[in-house]
């Protein structure tokens, strides 16, 4: 399972980097075209937006995998030390259930948008294609939380750089 999570992390990190690079390239190219050619690149801003959305959603899954996501600690003292592990596992299970339910509904959204044929103007791109990142990121994060619930040894130490 550790190898699977490591491979998943590597693939998602590369994809997020590619989407970030694409967003910067689209925006940079659009600015250069406006300044030098006095004309914008048609659809570059929308393509940059869609690319940065995909990168951000993958970033959520990466943050969960690195245990670097925002987590409120205000109630950490409520459970006695002996129950901290069980409480953490329960939290991972609740997070997994929430994210996997979100992935289910996001999948329904993507399928509905595909059936309706919605496009992203001005690109004429079927909107469901970039929207695939939403159910994927939610499912990937939920899967990680399930792994952490059943194998707490796989959870990276909070606040420690990896």
User: Over the stretch 7-40, which tens digit does the pLDDT of each residue have?
Assistant: 999 999 999 999 999 999 999 999 999 999 999 9
Residue 162 banded pLDDT, cuts 50, 70, 90: low
Domain of residue 143 covers 2-70+83-154
Q: Give the DSSP per-residue string, 72-112.
A: --TTTTSS-GGGHHHHHHHHHHHHHHHHHHHHHHHHHHHHH
- pLDDT at residue 159 in the model: 59
- pLDDT at residue 75 in the model: 73
What is the token pair recorded at 59?
């970033």
Question: Is residue 87 domain-resident?
Answer: yes
Question: Is residue 120 domain-resident?
Answer: yes
Question: Is residue 92 domain-resident?
Answer: yes
Question: Is residue 161 domain-resident?
Answer: no
Q: Would you mind telling me the total number of residues written for the chain in this entry? A: 162
C-beta separation of 103 from 142 below 8 A: yes
C-beta separation of 62 from 140 below 8 A: no
- pLDDT at residue 96 in the model: 96
Maximum distance among all alpha carbons in the chain? 67
Domains identified in the chain, total number: 1
Q: pLDDT, tens digit, for every residue of 36-88?
A: 999 999 999 999 999 999 999 999 999 999 988 777 777 777 778 888 788 88
- pLDDT at residue 13 in the model: 96
Tell me what the pLDDT averaged over the chain comes to: 91
Question: Is residue 150 domain-resident?
Answer: yes
Question: Is residue 76 domain-resident?
Answer: no
Angstrom distance (rounded) from CA 26 to CA 38: 16
Angstrom distance (rounded) from CA 104 to CA 84: 30
What does residue 119 show for φ and ψ, rounded to 5 degrees?
A: -125, 160
Question: Is residue 29 domain-resident?
Answer: yes
Question: Is residue 78 domain-resident?
Answer: no
């Amino acid at each position: 399972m550790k190898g699977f999570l490591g491979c998943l992390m590597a693939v998602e990190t590369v994809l997020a980097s590619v989407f970030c690079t694409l967003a910067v390239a689209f925006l940079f190219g659009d600015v250069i075209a406006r300044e030098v050619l006095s004309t914008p690149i048609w659809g570059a801003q929308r393509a940059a937006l869609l690319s940065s959305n995909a990168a951000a959603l993958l970033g959520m899954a990466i943050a969960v995998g690195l245990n670097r996501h925002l987590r409120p600690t205000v109630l950490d003292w409520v459970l006695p030390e002996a129950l901290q592990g069980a409480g953490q596992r329960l939290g991972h299970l609740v997070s997994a259930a929430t994210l996997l339910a979100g992935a289910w509904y996001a999948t329904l959204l993507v399928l509905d948008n595909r059936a309706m044929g919605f496009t992203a103007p001005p690109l004429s791109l079927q909107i469901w294609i970039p929207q695939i990142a939403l159910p994927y990121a939610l499912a990937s994060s939920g899967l990680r939380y399930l792994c952490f619930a059943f194998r707490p040894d796989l959870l990276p130490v909070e606040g420690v750089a990896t």
